[in-house]
Structure 1
Amino acid sequence: MPTEHDEVQQPELLYHQPFSDEELAYGETIRAFLRREVEPGYDEIGTDSAARHDLWKRAGAAGILGVSVPERFGGAGGGPLLSVILSYELARSLAYATLGSSFTTDLATGLLVAGGSDELIARWAPGIMSGEIIQSTGISEAEAGSDVVAIRTTAVRDGDEYVINGGKIFITNGDIADICYVVAKTDKEARGRGLSLFLMDLRSDGVTRRKLATMGFPGGNTAELHFDHVRVPAGNLLGAEGGAMRQLIATLAEDRIQVGARALGQAELAFDLTLDYARQRHAFGKAIVDFQNTQFQLASMKTEISVGRAFLYEQVRKARSGIATASESAMCKLFLSEASSRVIDGCLQLFGGMGFMDETPISRIYAANRVLRIYAGTSEILRRSIAKDL
């Protein structure tokens, strides 16, 4: 007969393969940091800028930030798959549904490493690794979400600087970030080929911010940014002028795989909490786990989680081999985000009235999970992308 330990999904199961020993060690480091530094008081961290910066500095000291910075700049030289582990571990933590995406914006370090000059990397990498510098990525606008070509923010060359005007919305960490990787049009007539990527210091003159209240992540830092004649050094252009689309496409598969891992982590956490609750909660003289309806629901959830994990493993293997396609990464993110939603909805139902209470973690997990079907490509956009390859 299975024991209680056998029934509860352990986070280590994510790492049967295809992860290396070094990647497993990175996951253990993140997990230990979250348990030691974040989970005991995540409700008290809130959205205070000083508290968030202190948290990032502690994350830097723990060695979980800027892991893709090359060794010659003092980094670990890790690959993009480490962002999958970071995203998964954060989602497996009770703190995620309150604090939001937080450290997962570290994926943006790859934009600096891939497109920045040696001078630019040398300037910003130490602060990124130490947690002194919080990153954000500015792509979405009010009239341009998944349709990147519709971006209206402009960047006009003026001597040794670019003058940027416009704004960005739904920016993770935008309320507290120090820098932002901003996509802007340098050629209004060239559509996608007219988009360029800049590293902007958000402490520059002309930058204003507005914090946005969200349905989930009560302690998160989502914001709207406005740029009024913000001057950015020409050396802060990442890659070639007009090359933003190529740079973004190169990281798109990685982003969607790491969001899929986050969806899986949330589903696993919700399942664990629900299975434990079903064993303890009694109704009509017996534990609710002993009702056939409960068992059937849990069986369906377990199956969806297992299928999703297998799908994620396959995409990680393909990404490592350099054969991951945009269509497959879209399918991975689509399936895992929607399967996660089904699992968590079923979990909340088994909690009954307690599931509707904010003091019960499943209620925040439920609210936080909803955005996974929206960012990094809505489910509708992903289906469109997949269909184009048929």
Structure 2
Amino acid sequence: MQNSFQKLDPVNWDTEDSPYGEEMEMYRQTVRTYFEREVEPRYREFEEKGVPRNVWRKAGEYGILGATIPEEYDGPGANRMSIMVAAEELGYAPSGATAGSFIGTDICTNFLVEFGTEEQKRKYFPGILSGEVIQAMAMTEAESGSDAFAARTTAVRDGDDYVINGSKIYISNGSKADLIFACVKTDPSQRAKGMSIILVEGDTPGLTRRRMITQGYKGGDTGELYFDDVRVPVSNLLGEENKAASVFVNTVALDRLQIVARSIGAVQRAFEMTLEHCQNRKLFGQRLIDFQNTQFVLAEMEIEIRVYRAFYNSLLRKVADDTITDAESSMAKVWLCELEFRVLDQCVQLWGGQAWMDDHPISRMFTAARVQRMFAGASELMKATIARRYV
């Protein structure tokens, strides 16, 4: 009688109920091919000067930038799932641990799609699609951290211009961005009710910046920005004045989940690499995989990753239906980013001394995983968001 049990392929993560669909899986293959051909061979170059502009332009040639730009603006017109797919592949590519947020800041495109004026869309969409216009969201300040609405950078109306003064720090792609979405106080007497988003082009007089050297994501173009009487036209206002909170409300959960998506890409790739290593590494005359402890560790990792994927997929469906809540995206951000760090730590242990070397992919992925618990809202802030429902 034929055995009714089917051998499980431990690196086949896709399930029949995947929420992405065929179109997005085709997009995934394009993004993965781009990383394999254009980024992986060059990632070491990024550490000194960041991601070169020709690498961005290559992303444009592959058609993976500005995926949510509507067809009427010569964009792909893809749904928001494209952001999650690109984030997964950014995590899945070992070079992503060096490239930093990189194409992840393409989420800014959604702000323009939903709130941009016709003039703003016509002006910036072509460059976003081609990779000529690198975007950055400038929210964080040295004194505000996760509390973005406590920002002190101001924009004062002066005739037909805004005059911006202040600074931003830890800004992904900030040292190189051509289009900066500056979150500023237009009514300092208020908190969230006094915030606005103003578009600032990278070559605007009075804007200076410096590239910051980070613990992980060393090629990530993280920057500190200084606004010294930076004058931009009032037409650069994105959405309504003092309404930044309403601009963010539809994107907050999406931003958290793209961090989570990156985590799941990273843990799946790390597990695959570590499993292959254990199957080939010889120790005391045996393969590393032949030791029961190794089998148990790998089994525990796979269980957690599969549960991780199931929870993540359930939230993707809510994103598609526009029913996801702040609490749910916060839960994902806490649990799944914590899991990424834990899994990468176990992978380092199984690789041994090799993974202590900076030039090893697992080493870089482990270091990069640490920041995920701070990105897009620290774990502590996420827990506070969840707990608000209890009181």
Q: Normalized against structure 2, the TM-score is what?
A: 0.95
Deviation at 1:249, TM superposition (A): 2.2
For 2:34, the equivalent position in structure 1 comes to 33
Letter of the 1:53 partner, please give it: R
Is 1:6 aligned to residue 6 of structure 2? no
Distance 1:375 1:8 in 2: 28
Distance 1:28 1:15 in 2: 18
Deviation at 1:378, TM superposition (A): 0.7
**How do 1:252-271 residues align onto structure 2 when only pairs under 5 Å count?**
252-271=252-271
For 1:315, the equivalent position in structure 2 comes to 315
Letter of the 2:329 partner, please give it: S
Equivalent pair of 2:10/2:302 in contact (CA under 8 Å): no
Letter of the 1:42 partner, please give it: Y
Distance 1:135 1:278 in 2: 41
Distance 1:350 1:2 in 2: 27
Letter of the 1:387 partner, please give it: A
For 2:96, the equivalent position in structure 1 comes to 96
For 1:116, the equivalent position in structure 2 comes to 116
For 2:291, the equivalent position in structure 1 comes to 291
Distance 1:47 1:162 in 2: 35
For 1:179, the equivalent position in structure 2 comes to 179
Deviation at 1:72, TM superposition (A): 1.5
Distance 2:199 2:244 in 1: 12
Distance 1:26 1:97 in 2: 21
Deviation at 1:320, TM superposition (A): 0.6
Deviation at 1:366, TM superposition (A): 0.4
Distance 1:157 1:208 in 2: 21
**Number of residue pairs aligned between Structure 1 and Structure 2:** 386
Deviation at 1:217, TM superposition (A): 1.5
**How do 1:141-156 residues align onto structure 2 when only pairs under 5 Å count?**
141-156=141-156
**How do 1:36-51 residues align onto structure 2 when only pairs under 5 Å count?**
36-48=37-49
Is 1:334 aligned to residue 337 of structure 2? no
For 2:137, the equivalent position in structure 1 comes to 137
Deviation at 1:21, TM superposition (A): 1.9
For 2:282, the equivalent position in structure 1 comes to 282
Is 1:238 aligned to residue 241 of structure 2? no
Identity among equivalent positions (%) equals: 44
Equivalent pair of 2:211/2:221 in contact (CA under 8 Å): yes
Distance 2:17 2:386 in 1: 29
For 1:23, the equivalent position in structure 2 comes to 24
SS of alignment partner, residue 250 of structure 1: coil
SS of alignment partner, residue 209 of structure 2: strand
Letter of the 1:192 partner, please give it: A
List per-residue Cα deviations over 1:76-111 (Å, max 9, x = no partner). Answer: 222222110000011101111111110110000011
Distance 2:248 2:338 in 1: 24
Q: Which consecutive unaligned segments of at least 5 residues does structure 1 have?
A: none
List per-residue Cα deviations over 1:204-231 (Å, max 9, x = no partner). Answer: 0001111111111222211100000101
**Greater Cα offset, 315-324 or 73-82:** 73-82
Instruction: Give the ranges of 4+ consecutive aligned residues of structure 1 lying more than 6 Å apart after TM superposition.
Output: none
Deviation at 1:360, TM superposition (A): 1.7
Distance 1:167 1:190 in 2: 19
Equivalent pair of 1:211/1:222 in contact (CA under 8 Å): yes
Distance 1:146 1:100 in 2: 19
Letter of the 2:20 partner, please give it: F
Letter of the 1:26 partner, please give it: Y
Distance 2:147 2:118 in 1: 32
Q: Which consecutive unaligned segments of at least 5 residues does structure 2 have?
A: none
For 1:213, the equivalent position in structure 2 comes to 213
**Residues 1:89 and 1:203: Cα distance change in structure 2 (over 3 Å):** same
Deviation at 1:2, TM superposition (A): 7.6
Deviation at 1:47, TM superposition (A): 4.6
Equivalent pair of 2:56/2:132 in contact (CA under 8 Å): yes
For 1:351, the equivalent position in structure 2 comes to 351
Distance 1:2 1:66 in 2: 41
Deviation at 1:165, TM superposition (A): 0.5
**Residues 1:187 and 1:205: Cα distance change in structure 2 (over 3 Å):** same
**Residues 1:57 and 1:240: Cα distance change in structure 2 (over 3 Å):** same
For 1:200, the equivalent position in structure 2 comes to 200
Distance 1:23 1:190 in 2: 41
Letter of the 2:202 partner, please give it: L
For 2:227, the equivalent position in structure 1 comes to 227
Pairwise CA RMSD: 1.6
Q: Normalized against structure 1, the TM-score is what?
A: 0.96
Distance 1:293 1:272 in 2: 18
List per-residue Cα deviations over 1:126-184 (Å, max 9, x = no partner). Answer: 00001010000000000112112210000011111100000110011111111110000
Letter of the 2:49 partner, please give it: D
Deviation at 1:73, TM superposition (A): 1.4
List per-residue Cα deviations over 1:17-49 (Å, max 9, x = no partner). Answer: 211222111111111111121112222344536
Letter of the 2:350 partner, please give it: L
Equivalent pair of 1:140/1:170 in contact (CA under 8 Å): yes
